[in-house]
Amino acid sequence: MKGVNGQRSTVNGSLLAPFEFRIERTAGAARAGRLALPHGEVLTPTFMPVGTYGTVRGLHPEEVEQAGARIILGNTYHLHLRPGESTIRALGGLHRFTTWPRPMLTDSGGFQVFSLAGLRSISEEGVEFTSHIDGSTRTLTPESSMEIQWALGADVAMAFDHVVAGQASHDLAEEGMERTLRWLTRCRRRHEELAEETQTLWPIIQGGIHDDLRRRSLEGTLARGPWTGIAIGGLSVGEPKPVMHRVLESLAGALPPDRPRYLMGVGFPEDLVEGIARGVDLFDCVAATRNGRHGSAWTSGGRVNIRGADHRTALEPLDPACDCATCARFSRSYLRHLFVAEEMLGLRLVSLHNIRFLLRLTEEARRAILAGELDRWSREWLRRYHGGADA
């Protein structure tokens, strides 16, 4: 290691070298591991809350940490628009700026190629966005995405990829997949020029729902390696769940077994259970906080809409089995009241609960893997979840 930021990752007492991933035990395709990053160690499998603008919406960093999060996301495109990476770099980088002391990962802006499809045009060089903030033209290329992410200073930078919709034809998915590979070459080159050993770059597998394309994407990606971790992108973007499971299964056997696997943008609780069983180590998803703000909570008995009239006088917590700060203290009736009255505390409390719910789920899954009981745990978990009142 070199440089002032290059201290060994001793935050959690880890003796691993930065970016080292050690698998402690496997259970079928599933793995329990430890990932060492410059800002600390991450036990896997785990869920990474999304903090697009350098904040997990509505939550104080301490709350996010107390909920069990050990790594969170930031977003290249949105932080580039405001406050801008030069500002963040001048203020000491994303970690110091936000005060989040633990590992961070920045998404590359690739997802905005998909989610802001109406505001951008793609060329081989890169993507031209019309800013939704002021209408200005903003161009993102594989190179500029790397430059921005290096300026932001997260532990993990993501490759700039071309995401296509889940319904995309073979031709379209192939185009996005091949472009993602070509861009990966450019990402890697630029990242190597910039980054010291305080940041690693992870590639993203694309290919839509087409097994042959997924395989080619993986081969092309590995040929451009080595990598300290590999992401699977372009899932849960409109394709049926069984299709996502099939893609994961087809990749599980071909992915390097000793590298962390990150399933991007997933997901819902049942997706985490299914994903972990298929070898996924890392997840991220906005649903925990977005749905939380919208009053939709995950509980061990299924989904609950806290705005519902049936909670008007309910004394029980959101989820009696939950150990989050919300469930420890507040009744469903109070949470419902906060939503009806449009008090911001309600948005925060349910967001926090959802974050903790996913993290507790991954913690339980990890324990089950270590205990060699993942199958049983998964079955029971899904049965209880789908058997709930709102399932």
Q: Taking the complex as a whole, how short is the minimal distance between the CB of residue 290 and RNA, in angstroms? A: 4
Cα 157-9-151 angle, rounded to 5 deg: 30
| Of 273, 294, 285, nearest in space to 72 by CA | 285
Q: For RNA, give the closer residue by CB, 53 or 189.
A: 53
- Mark 303-332 with x for binding to RNA (rule: CB under 7 A) and - for no binding: x-x-xxxx-x--------------------
Q: Taking the complex as a whole, how short is the minimal distance between the CB of residue 115 and RNA, in angstroms? A: 3
- Residue 151 tokens, joined: 């300026």
Binding of residue 243 to RNA (CB under 7 A): no
- Mark 6-45 with x for binding to RNA (rule: CB under 7 A) and - for no binding: ----------------------------------------
Q: Select the residue interacting with RNA from 72, 231, 273, 318 (CB under 7 A).
A: 231
The Cα 5–Cα 279 span in angstroms is 31
Tell me how far CA of residue 222 lies from CA of 205, 215, 227, 255, in angstroms. Answer: 10, 11, 8, 9
Q: Select the residue interacting with RNA from 44, 46, 112, 228 (CB under 7 A).
A: 112
Is 172:208 a contact under the CB 8 Å cutoff? yes
- Which span sits near RNA by CB under 7 A: 87-95, 211-219, 259-267, 374-382? 259-267
Q: For RNA, give the closer residue by CB, 127 or 287.
A: 287
Is 388:302 a contact under the CB 8 Å cutoff? yes
Q: Catalytic residue at 171?
A: no
Binding of residue 382 to RNA (CB under 7 A): no
Q: Taking the complex as a whole, how short is the minimal distance between the CB of residue 7 and RNA, in angstroms? A: 27
- Which span sits near RNA by CB under 7 A: 153-161, 183-191, 212-220, 362-370? 153-161
Residues recorded for the chain: 391
Q: How many residues bind RNA (CB under 7 A)?
A: 59
Q: Taking the complex as a whole, how short is the minimal distance between the CB of residue 116 and RNA, in angstroms? A: 5
| Of 350, 49, 364, nearest in space to 382 by CA | 364
Q: Taking the complex as a whole, how short is the minimal distance between the CB of residue 372 and RNA, in angstroms? A: 28
- The order of strands in the sheet holding 21-27 is 21-27, 30-37, 40-44
- Which span sits near RNA by CB under 7 A: 10-18, 185-193, 290-298, 371-379? 290-298
The Cα 345–Cα 199 span in angstroms is 36
Kindly identify the residues of this chain, within the stretch 58-77, that bind RNA according to CB under 7 A.
Answer: 73, 75
Q: For RNA, give the closer residue by CB, 182 or 376.
A: 182
State the catalytic residue, choosing from 155, 161, 271, 284. Answer: 284
Binding of residue 245 to RNA (CB under 7 A): no
Q: For RNA, give the closer residue by CB, 237 or 361.
A: 237
The Cα 255–Cα 213 span in angstroms is 14
Contacts of 336 (CB under 8 A, 6+ apart): 306, 307, 308, 311, 312, 314
Strands 200-202 and 204-205: unpaired
Q: Catalytic residue at 107?
A: yes
Binding residues for RNA (CB under 7 A): 50-52, 56-57, 73, 75, 78, 107-108, 110-112, 114-116, 118-119, 132, 158-159, 161, 163, 204, 231, 233-234, 236-237, 241, 264-268, 271, 284-287, 289-291, 293-296, 303, 305, 307-310, 312, 340, 342, 344, 347, 390
Active site residues: 107, 284
